[in-house]
Amino acid sequence: MTNTAKDKADAAEVVVSGKGVGKTFAGGSVVALEGANFDIERGKFISLVGPSGCGKSTLLRLVAGLIDRSSGELKVHGTSVKGPRQDISMMFQKATLLEWRTAIENVLLPTEVHRKPTRDDRTRALELLGMVGLKDFAFSYPAQLSGGMQQRVALARLLQTGADILLLDEPFGALDEFTREHLNVELMRIQADVGATTLFVTHNISEAIFLADEVFVMTSRPGRIAKVVDVNLPRPRTLKMQVEAEFNHLVEEVREALGAF
């Protein structure tokens, strides 16, 4: 196989797939997710967008193996999801840093769960803190950092796991718009750099489109993936693209799928 052909074959590898995935809570009375069918290819950036309660976090937690599905089949790297796994890492809206540990000590936490960090682990942690723009704050405590900086530490910690599938549940949702936009741009750069397959949850339609290769548009009661919108905007993306006609067409397409007109 030529290199280009091989690259194409690699790019098309499905790393997460769902067939009729459903989840009910409270003894079957709450259908959080129903009949979700999807294939996610390696290295893709997927945004999940939809109203509150439509099952976005549920879908992420199912993929992470934190909860069991009620129906359907869900596979990661070709094997059925049966519980948490090391090739998946998740990040939440709150940074949840340990206050008594410095930034680098927080980044090293996932490593410490498995073993004593080596010099290489510390070098990598410093490198990751550099990638998220915190080179000079590696030895600061969370209380000395702004909310945005704390989320950067959480992002570095996410990457320290070395997981090739990243799940982010409204990671920058609590931040102001400027900080969020800035972090989104950095997240895209880092994601492209490490090549991780990424699922990103947001309420924000523009943010969902701006980041993604594909937007899963979800609707509620019961939670469903109503539509998958392909985003063929060129990369690297710039904030300016958001005012262009092509971008606005995509916003329209997503809003229509949401029934938001």
Minimum gap (Å) between residue 202 Cβ and Mg ion: 10
> How far from 105 is each of 97, 122, 145, 239, CA to CA, in Å?
10, 9, 14, 33
CA distances from 164 to 159, 171, 209 (A): 9, 18, 22
Q: Is 58 in the site for ligand ATP (CB under 6 A)?
A: yes
Which stretch, 2-10, 48-56, 105-113, 227-235, contacts ligand ATP (CB under 6 A)? 48-56
Q: Quick check: 223 binds ligand ATP (CB under 6 A)?
A: yes
CB of 54 to Mg ion, least distance (A): 9
Q: What is the DSSP letter of 40?
A: E
DSSP codes joined into one string, 71-118: EEEEEETTEE--S--TTEEEE-SS----TTS-HHHHHTHHHHHHS---
Member of 2, 4, 52, 232 binding ligand ATP (CB under 6 A): 52
Residue nearest to Mg ion according to CB distances in the complex:
57
Cα→Cα distances 57→48, 94, 136, 232, Å: 9, 14, 33, 26
User: Which C-beta is closer to ligand ATP: that of 44 or that of 56?
Assistant: 56
57 is an interface residue for Mg ion by CB under 5 A:
yes
Site string for ligand ATP, 80-119 (x = CB under 6 A): ----------------------------------------
54 binds, among Mg ion, ligand ATP, none (CB under 5 to 8 A by kind): ligand ATP
Asked if 213 and 47 touch (Cβ cutoff 8 Å), the reply is no
What residue ranges bind Mg ion (CB under 5 A)?
57
